[in-house]
Amino acid sequence: MTKQQLAGIDWHADSHEVARQLIGVTLLVNGVGGRIVETEAYDRDDPASHSFAGPTERNLAMFGPPAHAYVYLSHGIHWCLNVVCREAGHGAGVLIRALEPVTGIDRMMVRRGTDDLRKLCSGPGKLAQALAVTRAMNGAALDAPPFTLLAGAAAVAVVEGPRIGISKAVDVRWRFGLAGSPYVSRPFRSLPVA
DNA sequence: CTTAGGATCGCCT
DNA sequence: GGCGATCCTAAGC
């Protein structure tokens, strides 16, 4: 047993490290999905994290084993998909915020009600709708159906910035993205090349 | 391009 | 009773 397991990711690493490693990884749910282009890290000692106040019925999956899913309902409307990391009991995870549609695009278009590729998975709620992620998948292992996780083909250029839609720890730069991708939820403010 | 408001449910104070 | 790890639409500059 090595640390490098599913999709070539070190699932026991810090959430921001896992979030970075996830960029470029292919994620499928029941065969529908694509390449991850945007993630956000959350951790136990992180006021913006659902796990900050300790285990509850809702966030219990975050305290479960790594490489499993944590799914929650946002604003009573949208499902959002996270992957758990660190070790069981720690309470760290990575929110999958956007992916580049690759496989099952026709099904995503039906579920999302649009033909615009850029609007299929460019946000955590949109992504969950396009991939039909629901609470039934909360706590499920990522190395078995309905999930498929595949390592990226090669090293990719990753950009970072502050997380989106939170009111605490707003200065922490734990949002990661694939450089230049048009499929992110919002542009990354890139620093000019010196 | 930026901002504001509504939808709508469950968790937490 | 308040407030979201969101999204969409409409209106204002």
pLDDT tens figures, A13-27? 999 999 999 999 999
**Residue A192 pLDDT:** 52
Structure tokens at A104: 């099952």
pTM of the model: 0.95
The pLDDT tens digits for A82-127 are 999 999 999 999 999 999 999 999 999 999 999 999 999 999 999 9
The pLDDT tens digits for A48-80 are 999 999 999 999 999 999 999 999 999 999 999
Give the Cα separation of A104 and A23 in Å (integer): 20
The pLDDT tens digits for A119-130 are 999 999 999 999
Give the Cα separation of A85 and A63 in Å (integer): 9
Question: Nearest residue (Cα to C1') for B7?
Answer: A77
> From the CA of A103, how many Å to the C1' of C2?
41
Query: Chain C positions under 7 Å from a protein CB?
Result: 3-8
**Residue A154 pLDDT:** 81
For the stretch A30-45, what's the b/e string if a residue is b when 16 or more beta carbons lie within 10 angstroms of its beta carbon?
eebbbbbbbbbbbbbe
Classify residue A135 as left (phi > 0), alpha (psi -120 to 50) or beta. alpha
Residues A34 and A26 sit within 8 Å (Cβ to Cβ):
yes
Cβ-Cβ contacts under 8 Å for A119 (sequence gap 6 or more) = A112, A126
**Residue A153 pLDDT:** 79
The pLDDT tens digits for A121-178 are 999 999 999 999 999 999 999 999 999 999 987 889 999 999 999 989 999 999 999 9
Q: Which fold has domain A3-178?
A: 3-methyladenine DNA Glycosylase; Chain A (3.10.300)
Instruction: Output the average pLDDT for chain A.
Output: 93
Q: Which nucleotide is nearest to A58 (CA to C1')?
A: B11
**Residue A194 pLDDT:** 43
Does A118 contact strand B, using a CB cutoff of 7 Å?
no
**Residue A191 pLDDT:** 60
Nucleic strand B contacts from chain A, 61-90, CB < 7 Å: 73, 75-77
